[in-house]
């Protein structure tokens, strides 16, 4: 099996052999389809288009079986990584005026009232809802691609099911993390109240603190947050929009950021405004990052990793931002309803994925915003009770995902067991085709709320 499917499902490699045909005639990278609803961006022997709209060639039409092998006209790992690492976006460089707008916006941001900021942002985000790809409000292309590959493996297999290590501990249906980026001194002062809100619903979250320029982070602040059972991570360096300007200055900043991480005792990071260059993340000494949006239509930097699952970028685990930020909800979309969040959560749960939230203590500065946040907490609490949702701190998700990546499935007699550190929390899942749909169930159990996954 290709690495991407084995790593995604943690299934044995022996079930089927995927092969790419000889590269003769390969073009691209470009866009093509893999079945009706999976868009790929990769090199391929099917026609590659430079634009994701319009009629695209379908790689599934040119997929064939030869004995135990499945011959694909593209490489699944390349197609997966081009989406996760946002390599599809390099084709459409940002026009110059946008980078000028960015400079202006970030230069002025701390001085501008929200009403002016949102006018600037709206002008700049114009047309966001017409963008076909990534799919808004949640893009699951990578997840659907892996499911399609697993299904192909099943169709060509003599086995009725393919075992894999279930995505979450103790058979939880999906996962949610709550995170708070602290933007200003006022935000820092509001953290205590936010922790009280979260504690009311037993939801422990993480706080990302800016180490330079905005406010002073004392060891007492870090201890206070941690002693209450919350997590402390590093948020950018100075939060001035310049972290990723060029590699030389980035490398110097990354060194400072790594030093602050040691000082704070942090293992996680998020950049300011989700600016990023995933190819440079190797300079960080963090264990995990939370700077990559799933579908970035409403963020200043376009793109998105098109998955609702954590993934590795070298030795760093990426926990993607899979829902809309509070600021965007309140000030760009101008709503205080949690309907959009509910829609996103539903789409993520349908893929058994990770729902991750960014809510700023700075923006919970009025009654309506607080009410909205409390409704979200209540909704998550209900899902924990009734839909078997795992609500965890990001660091706990990081620990689990790393352990799962090292576990092995072993056949003993007629059934499978999981071995390796942490395996006592792991469950064996079985993928099969039921009534024409890819279906997951946990060995000896049905998964509460697992939906068909094809
Ligand atoms: Zn921020």
| Ligand 1 centre distance from Cα of residue 402 (Å) | 26
| Ligand 1 centre distance from Cα of residue 301 (Å) | 14
349: buried, middle or exposed (CB in 10 Å: 19+, 13-18, 0-12)? buried
Structure tokens of 20? 């790419």
Please check whether residue 305 is in contact with residue 320, taking contact to mean a CB–CB distance below 8 angstroms: yes
| Ligand 1 centre distance from Cα of residue 360 (Å) | 8
DSSP 11: -
Helix axis angle for 367-386 and 339-350, nearest 10°, is 30
Q: How much is the pLDDT for 449? A: 46
Do the bridges between strand 206-209 and strand 39-44 make them parallel or antiparallel, or are there none, so unpaired? unpaired
| Ligand 1 centre distance from Cα of residue 273 (Å) | 5
Mean pLDDT throughout 36-43?
94
Q: How much is the pLDDT for 451? A: 47
| Ligand 1 centre distance from Cα of residue 215 (Å) | 13
**Could you identify the residue written with the tokens 């620990």?**
399
Q: How much is the pLDDT for 113? A: 67
| Ligand 1 centre distance from Cα of residue 381 (Å) | 26
DSSP 182: E
What φ, ψ does residue 136 adopt, rounded to 5°?
A: -100, 145
| Ligand 1 centre distance from Cα of residue 180 (Å) | 9
Structure tokens of 370? 């607080």
Considering the chain, what is the average pLDDT of its residues? 91
Mean pLDDT throughout 135-143?
96
N residues, the chain:
454
Mean pLDDT throughout 320-346?
95
Q: How much is the pLDDT for 110? A: 56
**Could you identify the residue written with the tokens 């017409």?**
130
Judged against a pLDDT cut of 60, whether residue 94 lies above it is answered with: no
| Ligand 1 centre distance from Cα of residue 355 (Å) | 19
Do the bridges between strand 174-182 and strand 311-313 make them parallel or antiparallel, or are there none, so unpaired? unpaired
Helix axis angle for 76-84 and 141-155, nearest 10°, is 160
Give Cα 200 to chain centroid, integer Å: 27
**Could you identify the residue written with the tokens 């393919």?**
162
Q: Is the peptide bond before 155 cis (omega within 30 degrees of 0)?
A: no
| Ligand 1 centre distance from Cα of residue 87 (Å) | 24
Give CA–CA dist 169/396, Å, rounded.
Answer: 11
Judged against a pLDDT cut of 80, whether residue 21 lies above it is answered with: no
Question: Model confidence at 102, in pLDDT bands (50, 70, 90)?
Answer: low
| Ligand 1 centre distance from Cα of residue 253 (Å) | 16
Question: Model confidence at 105, in pLDDT bands (50, 70, 90)?
Answer: low
| Ligand 1 centre distance from Cα of residue 178 (Å) | 15
| Ligand 1 centre distance from Cα of residue 259 (Å) | 19
Mean pLDDT throughout 128-142?
89
| Ligand 1 centre distance from Cα of residue 346 (Å) | 26
- Largest Cα–Cα distance in the chain? 68
DSSP, collapsed to helix, strand or coil, labels residue 440 as strand
Question: Model confidence at 118, in pLDDT bands (50, 70, 90)?
Answer: confident
DSSP E strands, 256-363: 268-270, 288-289, 311-313, 316-318, 354-358
| Ligand 1 centre distance from Cα of residue 95 (Å) | 24
pLDDT in tens, 223-259: 999 999 999 999 999 999 999 999 999 999 999 999 9
Judged against a pLDDT cut of 70, whether residue 446 lies above it is answered with: no
- Conformational region of residue 352, where left means phi above 0, alpha means psi within -120 to 50, and beta covers everything else: left
| Ligand 1 centre distance from Cα of residue 182 (Å) | 7
| Ligand 1 centre distance from Cα of residue 239 (Å) | 7
Q: How much is the pLDDT for 450? A: 45
Q: Give the torsion sign (CA, 126, 132, 137, 142).
A: negative
Interior angle at CA 14, CA 13 and CA 19, nearest 5: 75
Judged against a pLDDT cut of 90, whether residue 154 lies above it is answered with: yes
| Ligand 1 centre distance from Cα of residue 362 (Å) | 10
**Could you identify the residue written with the tokens 């550190």?**
421
Q: How much is the pLDDT for 159? A: 86
Q: How much is the pLDDT for 275? A: 94
| Ligand 1 centre distance from Cα of residue 235 (Å) | 7
Question: Model confidence at 59, in pLDDT bands (50, 70, 90)?
Answer: very high
Give CA–CA dist 195/265, Å, rounded.
Answer: 19
| Ligand 1 centre distance from Cα of residue 109 (Å) | 12
| Ligand 1 centre distance from Cα of residue 371 (Å) | 22
Give CA–CA dist 321/86, Å, rounded.
Answer: 14
| Ligand 1 centre distance from Cα of residue 289 (Å) | 14
pLDDT in tens, 408-420: 999 988 889 999 9
| Ligand 1 centre distance from Cα of residue 417 (Å) | 43
| Ligand 1 centre distance from Cα of residue 275 (Å) | 10
Mean pLDDT throughout 411-437?
94
Question: Model confidence at 128, in pLDDT bands (50, 70, 90)?
Answer: confident
Question: Percent of the chain beyond pLDDT 70?
Answer: 89
Mean pLDDT throughout 134-140?
95
Question: Model confidence at 92, in pLDDT bands (50, 70, 90)?
Answer: very low
Please check whether residue 68 is in contact with residue 16, taking contact to mean a CB–CB distance below 8 angstroms: yes
Q: What is the DSSP string of 392-415?
A: --HHHHHHHHHHHHH-EEEEETTE
**Could you identify the residue written with the tokens 């749909």?**
437
pLDDT in tens, 272-300: 999 999 999 999 999 999 999 999 988 88
| Ligand 1 centre distance from Cα of residue 350 (Å) | 29
Q: How much is the pLDDT for 444? A: 78
| Ligand 1 centre distance from Cα of residue 240 (Å) | 9
DSSP, collapsed to helix, strand or coil, labels residue 390 as strand
Question: Whole-prediction pTM value?
Answer: 0.93
Question: Model confidence at 126, in pLDDT bands (50, 70, 90)?
Answer: confident
Which stretch of 16-30, 124-138, 371-385, 399-413 has the lowest confidence by average pLDDT? 16-30
**Could you identify the residue written with the tokens 């499945």?**
70
- In the structure, how many helices (H) and strands (E) does the chain have? 13, 19
| Ligand 1 centre distance from Cα of residue 24 (Å) | 47
| Ligand 1 centre distance from Cα of residue 214 (Å) | 11
Residue 315: CA atoms inside 13 Å, Cβ hemisphere, count? 7
| Ligand 1 centre distance from Cα of residue 403 (Å) | 30
| Ligand 1 centre distance from Cα of residue 274 (Å) | 8
Give CA–CA dist 296/324, Å, rounded.
Answer: 9
pLDDT in tens, 170-193: 999 999 999 999 999 999 999 999
* Cβ-based neighbours of 134, under 8 Å, separated by 6 or more: 141, 294, 295, 296, 297, 303, 304, 306
| Ligand 1 centre distance from Cα of residue 307 (Å) | 22
Question: Model confidence at 112, in pLDDT bands (50, 70, 90)?
Answer: low
How far from 247 is each of 239, 257, 279, 317, 444, CA to CA, in Å?
A: 17, 15, 10, 21, 51
Please check whether residue 179 is in contact with residue 203, taking contact to mean a CB–CB distance below 8 angstroms: no
| Ligand 1 centre distance from Cα of residue 344 (Å) | 22
Please check whether residue 429 is in contact with residue 416, taking contact to mean a CB–CB distance below 8 angstroms: no
């Amino acid at each position: 099996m290709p690495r991407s499917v084995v790593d995604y499902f943690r299934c044995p490699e022996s079930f089927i052999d995927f092969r790419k045909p000889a590269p003769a005639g390969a073009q691209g990278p470009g866009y093509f389809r893999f079945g009706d609803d999976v868009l790929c961006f990769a090199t391929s022997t099917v026609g590659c288009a430079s634009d994701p709209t319009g009629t695209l060639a379908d790689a599934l039409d040119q997929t064939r079986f030869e004995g135990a092998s499945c011959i694909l006209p593209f490489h699944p790992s390349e197609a997966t990584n081009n989406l996760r690492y946002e390599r599809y976006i390099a084709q459409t460089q940002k026009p110059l005026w946008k980078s000028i707008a960015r400079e202006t916006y970030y230069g002025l941001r701390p001085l501008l009232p929200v009403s002016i900021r949102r006018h600037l942002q709206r002008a700049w985000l114009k047309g966001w809802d017409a963008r076909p790809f990534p799919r808004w409000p949640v893009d699951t292309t990578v997840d659907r691609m892996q499911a399609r590959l697993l299904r192909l493996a099943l169709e060509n297999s003599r086995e009725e099911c393919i075992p894999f290590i279930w995505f979450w501990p103790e058979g939880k249906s999906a996962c949610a993390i709550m995170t708070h980026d602290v933007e200003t001194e006022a935000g820092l002062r509001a953290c205590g109240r936010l922790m009280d809100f979260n504690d009311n619903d037993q939801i422990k979250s993480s706080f990302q603190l800016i180490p330079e320029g905005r406010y002073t982070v004392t060891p007492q602040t870090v201890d206070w947050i941690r002693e209450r059972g919350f997590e402390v991570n590093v948020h950018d360096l100075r939060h001035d929009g310049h972290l990723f300007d060029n590699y030389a200055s980035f490398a110097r900043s990354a060194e400072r950021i790594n030093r602050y991480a040691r000082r704070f005792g942090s293992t996680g990071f998020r950049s300011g405004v989700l600016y990023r260059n995933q190819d440079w993340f190797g300079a960080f000494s963090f264990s995990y990052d939370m700077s990559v949006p799933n579908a970035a239509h409403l963020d200043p930097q376009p793109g998105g990793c098109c998955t609702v699952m954590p993934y590795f970028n070298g030795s760093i685990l990426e926990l993607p931002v899979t829902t809309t930020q509070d600021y965007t909800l309140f000030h760009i979309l101008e709503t205080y309803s949690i309907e959009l969040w509910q829609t996103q959560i539903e789409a993520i749960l349908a893929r058994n994925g990770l729902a991750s939230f960014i809510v700023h203590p700075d923006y919970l500065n009025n009654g309506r915003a607080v009410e909205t946040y409390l409704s979200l907490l209540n909704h998550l609490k209900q899902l924990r009770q009734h839909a078997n949702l795992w609500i965890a701190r990001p660091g706990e998700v990081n620990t689990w995902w790393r352990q799962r990546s090292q576990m092995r499935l072993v056949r003993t007699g007629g059934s499978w067991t999981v071995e390796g550190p942490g395996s006592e929390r792991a469950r064996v899942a079985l993928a099969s085709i039921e009534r024409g749909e890819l279906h997951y169930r946990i060995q000896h159990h049905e998964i509460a709320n697992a939906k068909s996954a094809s």
